[in-house]
Structure 1
């Protein structure tokens, strides 16, 4: 198929992972890079042979840009998405889809009117880890799913990131930063969420940057850094969620799903692969499940390539804006529940994206 031509907006740390992946896929080609810092854009473009460095208005006006890959900070996601849509471009963004569900609704509505597609990270769920776990669940080997747990605990990103303030501002925090990986995985495995109840806290009011040229800089925390809650899926499954930037060490599993016939251990949803293990009632002990589904060797950018292939085939893409909107809605609902002390019904729903069969499809063959 003809490669989908991509203009990258935002050349921060995550752009390197995208550019490395996209450069090895047949169905996409990076043609332009834009960033507020021109030197940073030049460094990023160096890893995308043939890509030019231009400003944002020029990128949006370019005839050879089919899709805008929006890798800006969360507060700018909606603004850049709207600009791309207004220019007639498809858009794929880093998570979250927008800072609020209100902004996200407007993005999806604008895209529908313009006839363009919206995709959104995370695409880690397209790898062999979550997809193999889904194949086990869909096969019925675990019996009827009853419950799940999802834990992400860390002492905070200021320990390794040289400019971590945005993680502690609206649109950040452990829930908005890491929650999309875990929630997208839970929804991929168990379907959409109907109701939530949550609690939250910000026990450490300020953080200190530990690395880089700004080491020692102290900044205020503006969001909850410890969020926990229970999700009631539309299927009736109950998932327990814990997201925290306030835990120095933990041995909690990433995700486990428990069914009437056994339990399933799911690898880190921030990664594309990893061991899937099953403990069946009729076969005690944990046993590794060989990879049986998902894109092998995937990396950040496969969601964009999946969108490119779906465009060529006229099929839905998997890392879809409506799924990302539902994830955002669940996160906002959790924080609303934490603020009000009430169970909150999630206003949106979504379809489980289509499973990824084993192996790579032709449009995603490494070049």
Structure 2
């Protein structure tokens, strides 16, 4: 098995990463890794071995392996799981069984039942689980969090989170999975928004949801299948109210049906001020404050978070997490976020409020940090 993750700090050896899944998202990680002294890519694997070979050919010192070979490789400390959501749990469980830490793309697993098995296996094996999105570690969300923690808006009362698009079939050449059970706007984009809300306002105790869909099929707008229709078998407009343990109320609107919106992606309202928070799918952006009695919005200076961060900084954060501690973009947060989203959909189906059984610590704040190799 790979080396333990107990060493932290500048003197620690880089965390040796093996990637399973060489689809489109891998490019973002490959662009970030050269900036991080804490991690080193050593191997890649894909069911289509030619894709793994193509990635390895462009990366010095990186080997193309089969999935089985990578999971068994003693030179791999952590498996970065970039497979499709349906395969997340299976790959994670196999990596854990091999004694390796795991960091996955969102969601942690396709269902909370599968995700629970991953966390239980990791606890039994004594290995770390991390999970995207790591956008919450950037200066956008973290500057907003510091504003809340510093009392700039007083006691938080409510939040709104809005994501409106007419549908991914307009740009994605193979959008089928977005319109199947397990897809839809909430499970696709919700992890960014709900992770941000939990980071800003703390865990969620219960939810109320409603959902609908307006069309039975979608027409692909680009690529080799342009003009082909795909069936819709999941809700494509979801709204919900999240009751945070603190008493704050967050309202979600996630839509693949509507055309556009002028609403801010995230707004946080408190007794003495309101915040406009940048897009939680991005790492940075302006945080704006309007104080009670003020006449206009002011842009707050960047004051927290990993500066100039990008996809993959969650692995950097994990590499520096003390042994026995939960990473900020960790499995417990990812599990809670997944259960919140499942609970919203369950509430929509039942027509009644649903309690959220899981709980997670509000992740530790990130001080303003410049990371340079």
Task: Report the TM-score when normalising by structure 2.
Answer: 0.95
State whether residues 23 and 48 of structure 1, in contact with CA within 8 Å, keep that contact through their aligned partners in structure 2: no
Matched, 1:4 2:15: yes
* Paired residues for 1:87-236 under 5 Å: 87-236=98-247
Where in structure 2 are the equivalents of 1:239-278 lying within 5 Å? 239-278=250-289
2:29 is matched with 18
Hey, what does 1:344 align to over in structure 2?
354
Decide whether the 8 Å contact of 1:74 with 1:172 is kept in 2: no
**In the TM superposition, what is the alpha-carbon distance from 1:277 to its structure 2 partner?**
0.1
How far off is 1:47 after superposition? 4.4
- The equivalent of 1:328 in structure 2 is 338
> Which whole-Å CA distance do the structure 2 matches of 1:48 and 1:143 have between them?
49
Matched with 2:43 is: 32
Aligned partners of 1:75, 1:306: CA distance in 2, in Å?
26
Deviation at 1:68, TM superposition (A): 0.4
User: CA 1:226–1:349 in structure 2 vs 1: closer, same or farther (change >3 Å)?
Assistant: same
**Which residue of structure 1 lines up, in the alignment, with residue 72 of structure 2?**
61
- Tell me whether 260-269 or 164-173 shows the greater mean CA deviation: 164-173
Find the residue that maps to 2:234 and give its secondary structure: coil
The CA deviation at 1:250 is: 1.6
Look up the match of 2:4: none
- CA-atom RMSD in angstroms: 1.2
Unaligned ranges ≥5, structure 1: none
Q: Separation in 2 of the partners of 1:261 and 1:174?
A: 33
* Distance in 2, Cα, partners of 1:334 & 1:47: 43
Separation (CA, whole Å) in 2 of partners of 1:327 and 1:162: 28
Q: 1: distance between equivalents of 2:293 and 2:49?
A: 60
CA distance in 1, matches of 2:166, 2:324: 44
SS in 1 for 2:35: coil
User: What SS is found at the alignment partner of 2:252?
Assistant: strand
The number of residue pairs the alignment matches comes to: 362
Aligned match of 2:327: 317
CA change 1:3–1:314 in 2 (3 A) is: farther
What are the ranges of 5 or more consecutive residues in structure 2 without an aligned counterpart? 1-11
Matched, 1:297 2:308: yes
Deviation at 1:275, TM superposition (A): 0.4
Does the aligned pair in 2 maintain the 1:294–1:359 contact within 8 Å?
Answer: yes
Q: Measured at CA, do residues 168 and 47 of structure 1 come closer, stay the same or move farther in structure 2, by a change above 3 Å?
A: farther
SS in structure 2 at match of 1:283: coil
Question: Structure 1 residues 163, 41: CA separation in 2 closer, same or farther (over 3 Å shift)?
Answer: farther
Is 1:49 aligned with 2:60? yes
Superposition deviation, residue 169 in structure 1: 2.0
- The alpha carbon displacement at 1:223 in A equals 1.5
Tell me which residue corresponds to 1:76.
87
Per-residue deviation, 1:314: 5.8
Tell me the distance in 1 between the aligned counterparts of 2:57 and 2:283.
25
CA distance in 2, matches of 1:200, 1:43: 42
